[in-house]
Structure 1
Amino acid sequence: MSSDTQPPAHRSGFACFVGRPNAGKSTLTNAMVGTKVVITSSKPQTTRTVVRGIVHRPDAQLILVDTPGLHRPRTLLGERLNDLVVTTWAEVDVVAVCFPADEKPGPGDRFLVNELAKVKRTIKFAVATKTDLVTPEQLAEHLMAIDRLGQETGTEWAEIVPVSAVAGDQVQLLADLLVARLPEGPQLYPDGELSDAPEEAIVADLIREAALEGVRDELPHSIAVVVEEMALKEDRDPDKPLLVIHANVFVERDSQKGIVIGHKGSRLREVGTEARQQITAMLGVPVYLDLHVKIAKDWQRDPKQLRRLGF
C-alpha cells in the first residue's frame, strides 16, 4: 500500500424504515443498533414518536429514524402521524420500505409506495423482513412481487434486500448498503449515544409497551403515557442509586381503565414490574415506578389534549 493511499472517507447520515404497521421496522432498528431503542409490540400502530437509533462504526455513523406506520387516517392523531411520516421521508438520505415476507404486498403497501414515489430526491430501498418465517421459494416469489410493485408505481429500488432481524440474517449487509449511500461527513452524535430521544420519552414508550402486551385489540390507539417526574432519590448512598419515576397512563374511557388496572390492580402491577425491568436494563439503575391510570376522554380527537399528551 503506497503512503499516499487515503483511508475511505467517513460517512454520516439518516435512514428511515417505513412500512405498514407491524412490518418489522422497530425490530430491525433495534437489531442494527444492537439494543432496544424502539418499542416493538405485536400490536400495530404502537410507534408514535420519531425515535432515532444510532449505529456507530469506525467508517460511518448511521442514524435510523423510526416513524409511525403510514395509514389512512380516521382521527386527528392519525392525520398528524401521517404528516410526520411524509416530512421525515423528504429529510433523510435513504428510505427503506419494509415488506414482511410472510404476507403478500397488498393495497396498504401500494398506497405507501405511491405516496413515497412523490418524494423525488430520496434514495429508496426495499427490505423483505421476517425471512425466517418463509421457505426459499416463498421468499423468491415475494422479492419478485416487490420488484413488480416498484415497476407499477414508477419507484426505482436502489436495492432489494431480504433480512431477518430475529435471526440476524443479512442485517449487517443491509447496514453496509445503507452506509454506502450516505454522504461523506463527520460524526453527528457523540460515541456511545444510541438514541437522541430524551430519556423521559424512552421511559414513557417502555411503560406504554408493557401496558399494551396481552390486552385486547381496542386499546393500542387509546393509551398514552406521560412521565410527570423522574429523578434520582436524594440522600442515598451514591453506590446504591434509585431512580424514582411518577407516570400517568391515559386512556379514553372508563371501560379501558378497568382493562389496564385489572382485577384488584393485578394487571397494573404486572405492567409496572415489566416496565421497571426494561427501564432498569436500559438506564442501568434500579427503578421505583409509581403508575396511575387516568381518563382523558376522546383525547385522540381533541387538539388541546393531543398537545398536552405530547402529540
Structure 2
Amino acid sequence: MSETRAGFIAVVGRPNVGKSTLINALVGARVSITTPKPQTTRHRILGIRTEDSVQMIFVDTPGIHTGGKSAMNRMLNQTAGDSMRDADCVLWLVQSNRWTDEDAAVLERLRTVRCPVGLIVTKVDLVKDKAELMPFIAKTGSRRAFDFVVPLSATKGNNLDALLAEVTRVLPESPLLFESEQVTDRGEHFRMAELIRERLFMSLDQELPYAITVEIESDEPMEDGRRHVSAVIWVARDSHKGIVIGKQGARLKQVGSEARRAIQADLGQGLHLQLWCRVKRGWADDERALASLGFDLPDQG
C-alpha cells in the first residue's frame, strides 16, 4: 500500500497574476472568485484536491503588493506572508514575459522560505511566439534556487498535470487532513458574499471596488423551498453609496440579479436575494471594523 501524502501549498505572487484561476483549475471547483482586477482575493482560502493517497491543500492568498498603506493593505500582505511561512510547499506565480517591481517584492519575501519552492510561469497562452518564453523562464529561474519550474496556462489547462506531479513529489508523508470529498474550508455564507463582491467588482470602475465589502446579514428558509438571503454591501463613504445603487437603483438590481444566479448555481437551490448598501466610514483603515467584517488581522507580536 502506498504512503499517504498531504500538505499545504501556498500559492503566492503579485496581484492579478492568476493565483485563484490556477487553484480553481487544480481543484476542479470554483473555490475562489476571479476578476480581471487586482486584489480580488482578500482572504486566505483553501482549495483541496484529494486523489488516491495524495491530498493537496492549496492556499489562495491575496496578491503581495506595494504602495498601499491602509490597514487592509497591511492585512493582505501579512496574510500572504503568513501562508508562506506555514506552508509545506510554495508556488510562486510570475506572468510570462512580464516582470514588475511587485514580482521583485515577492521574491524578496521568498528569501526566508525554507520549504520547497516552485516557479510557475503563468498565462503562457498569451505569448504568441513561444520562443520568446525560454529566455524569460531562464532569467526568472536564475533569481533563486527553485525545486522545480513549470510554465502553464490555467485557463487552457496546459501543463497542469506536470505541476501536480511536482507538487506530489515534494509533499511530506502525512495522513489526510480533510475529508476526501471536501474542496474548500469556507462555508456557504462566505461564498455567497464573495460571489456578490465578484459581481460588484465587474460592475464598478476605478478604485471603488476596493472600498467595498459584503456581509451576509440573514439566511432564512421560505415556504416554497427557496432561501431568503439578505446581504449588506458596506462602502466607506456616502458618495460611494449612490454609485453602488445606481440611477433609480439600476446597478444594485443588476448586481443582485447576476449574483443570485451565481449563488443558485453554487448552492443548487432557489434563492431570493435582497441587497442593501450601507456606509461604514473608513472601514478599510480601521482594524476593529475589519475584524467585525471577518478579516484576519496581522499578528501584533
For normalisation by structure 2, the TM-score amounts to 0.93
1:231 is displaced (CA, Å) by 3.4
2:218 match: 229
Identity of aligned residues (%): 36
Aligned match for 2:180, one of 181, 188, 191: 191
Which secondary structure state, in structure 2, belongs to the residue aligned with residue 54 of structure 1?
strand
Counterpart selection for 2:136 from 134, 142, 147:
142
For structure 2, the 5+ residue unaligned runs are 296-301
Matching residue of 2:28: 34
Out of 269, 276, 288, the residue aligned to residue 292 of structure 1 is: 276
1:226 offset after TM fit, Å?
0.6
Aligned position for 1:182: 171
Taking the TM superposition and a 5 Å limit, the aligned residue runs for 1:95-134 are 95-101=90-96, 103-119=97-113, 121-134=114-127
In structure 1, what is the Cα distance between the partners aligned to 2:189 and 2:168? 30
RMSD, matched Cα: 1.4
Q: 2:285 corresponds to which letter in structure 1?
A: R
Whether 1:43 aligns to 2:37 is yes
Equivalent of residue 169 in structure 1, options 146, 158, 165:
158
Task: Report if the CA contact (8 A) 2:54-2:168 is conserved.
Answer: yes
Which of the residues 231, 247, 260 maps onto 1:247? 231
1:93 aligns with 2:93: no
Distance in 1 (CA, whole Å) between partners of 2:91 and 2:138 is: 17
2:247 is aligned with 1:278: no
2:202 match: 213
Unaligned runs of at least 5 residues, structure 1: 1-6
Q: SS of the residue aligned with 1:213? A: helix
1:138-183 deviations in Å (ceiling 9; x for gaps): 22122123113x2xxxx32111100101110011221221122111
User: 1 CA distance for matches of 2:145 and 2:264?
Assistant: 43
TM-score, with normalisation over the residues of structure 1?
A: 0.90
- Give the ranges of 4+ consecutive aligned residues of structure 1 lying more than 6 Å apart after TM superposition: none
Structure 1 residue 62 corresponds to structure 2 residue 56: yes
> Any residues of structure 2 matched to 1:142-161 within 5 Å, and which?
142-148=136-142, 150=143, 155-161=144-150
Contact 1:105 1:145 (C-alpha < 8 Å) held by counterparts: no
- Total equivalences in the alignment: 293
Q: Are 2:17 and 1:23 equivalent residues in the alignment?
A: yes
* 1:68-100 superposed Cα distances (whole Å, 9 cap, x missing partner): 111124111111221211111111111111111
- Tell me, in whole angstroms, the C-alpha distance in 2 between the residues paired with 1:176 and 1:230: 41
Letter of the 1:117 partner, please give it: R
Is the 2:227–2:272 contact (alpha carbons within 8 Å) kept by the matching residues of 1?
yes
Q: Secondary structure at the match of 1:98?
A: strand
SS of corresponding position for 1:52? strand
